[in-house]
Amino acid sequence: MSAPKFTTLGCRLNAYETEAMKELSAQAGLDNAVIVNTCAVTAEAVRKARQEIRRLRRENPTARLIVTGCAAQTEPETFTAMAEVDAVIGNTEKMRPETWKSMAADFIGETETVQVDDIMSVTETAGHLIDGFGTRSRAYVQVQNGCDHRCTFCIIPYGRGNSRSVPAGVVVDQIKRLVDRGYNEVVLTGVDLTSWGADLPAEPKLGDLVMRILRLVPDLPRLRISSIDSIEVDENLMQAIATEPRLMPHLHLSLQHGDDLILKRMKRRHLRDDAIRFAEEARRLRPEMTFGADIIAGFPTETEAHFENSLKLVDDCHLTWLHVFPYSRREGTPAAKIPSQVNGKTIKDRAARLRAAGDRRVARHLAQQVGRSHRILMESPQMGRTEQFTEVHFDTPQPEGQIVTTTITGTSGNVLTA
């Protein structure tokens, strides 16, 4: 009997759910299987999924090959048509124990080759909770799934469904268990994290959840939140930024662009000045705050002047850790129908210029840390991260999973040295 092999494509949430599927498939007794957890964020992501499936079939000719994830949810017919694929499972189905029981070799009865239901009809809270994922020092807790917004470039709501939240009490109980197991940092994750609570009684906000975690889990050394939509940040989250040292001073912002007209065509809910105002206020409340951001280069109709506003936003918002996405036309999205598509060479060039701007901000950030003392969470004996999520390399081994205080001595590439 051989344990199933998993391949994860795409986001951190997919990686989290792969860990959950490992548990579910083990409990079901599934063996001799390969499971591919796909991403659908761009057409290129789907192409890579197909490529990976063909490679895995060549390497595992006798295994059952199961495809799941967002691409399987949004276009199951694409994968059903592939000769290499034995089964296609949707995003809701992949988190159900009975799905994996039906895939096990000793299951008696008929197993559907395609199990993909209407994701928009799903109303239960975000799925399976796992006690520990990531490094031995940092755990990720999924508190929300799905998205109620319809940005014109994005297919993800059709892969994830509408927003659903995990109740605060369930989240707090899980984090208590993680702390009891020795984790020193917990990261809250979701598809649209700042929409947490909108579907719960009394409609609490993400800031309410953060404050509750910090109050009820006093032994948690570090709480981090992943990507947020700054326009949805509530008063309590700003209060936590200002007053709670255990909330890490690092926020990843879903900005997408720096020009108001393009933001409107993307159907975003903020304008350029909103982003700048939020960044300024967060840094006023917490001077050591650092920002990451998602920015798309080459959205349809983007002119050089529009793009220059994205470039300027890197400095205007003091963005340090950029995730630059060259626009990729995605069938099924409104943006794919816009006639004025930017040509590929221009998109590639603009993405490179954005990354270069990000590299300059990283170099500036790193230079400012030299000589300063930092509390660093060790992910391995010789690598850890500061509270701002900056990577630090050590000459001498440190206790893995622990928080150590040290003075930064220099830089090397995009990392600090100590």
Angle at 62 (CA atoms; ends 57, 67), nearest 5 degrees: 45
pTM above 0.75, yes or no: yes
Say how many residues make up the chain: 418
| C-alpha to C-alpha distance for 105 and 82, rounded to whole angstroms | 22
Q: Which tokens hold the place of 273?
A: 């000045």
Tens of each residue's pLDDT in the chain, 418 residues: 678 899 999 887 788 788 888 888 888 888 889 999 998 888 888 889 999 999 999 999 999 999 998 988 888 888 999 999 998 988 888 888 888 888 875 443 334 455 555 444 444 554 555 555 556 688 888 899 889 899 999 888 888 888 889 999 999 999 999 999 899 999 998 889 999 999 999 999 999 999 999 999 999 999 999 889 999 999 999 999 999 999 999 999 999 999 999 999 999 999 999 999 999 999 999 999 999 999 999 999 999 999 999 999 999 999 999 999 999 888 889 999 999 999 999 999 999 999 999 999 999 999 999 999 999 999 999 999 999 999 999 999 999 999 999 999 999 999 999 9
Residue 130: per-residue pLDDT: 55
The three-state DSSP-derived secondary structure of 9-72 is CCCHHHHHHHHHHHHHHHHHCCCCEEEEEECCCCHHHHHHHHHHHHHHHHHCCCCEEEEEEHHH
Please give the full DSSP string across 133-182, using - where no structure is assigned.
-BSSSEEEEE-EE--S---TT--HHHHH-S-EE--HHHHHHHHHHHHHTT
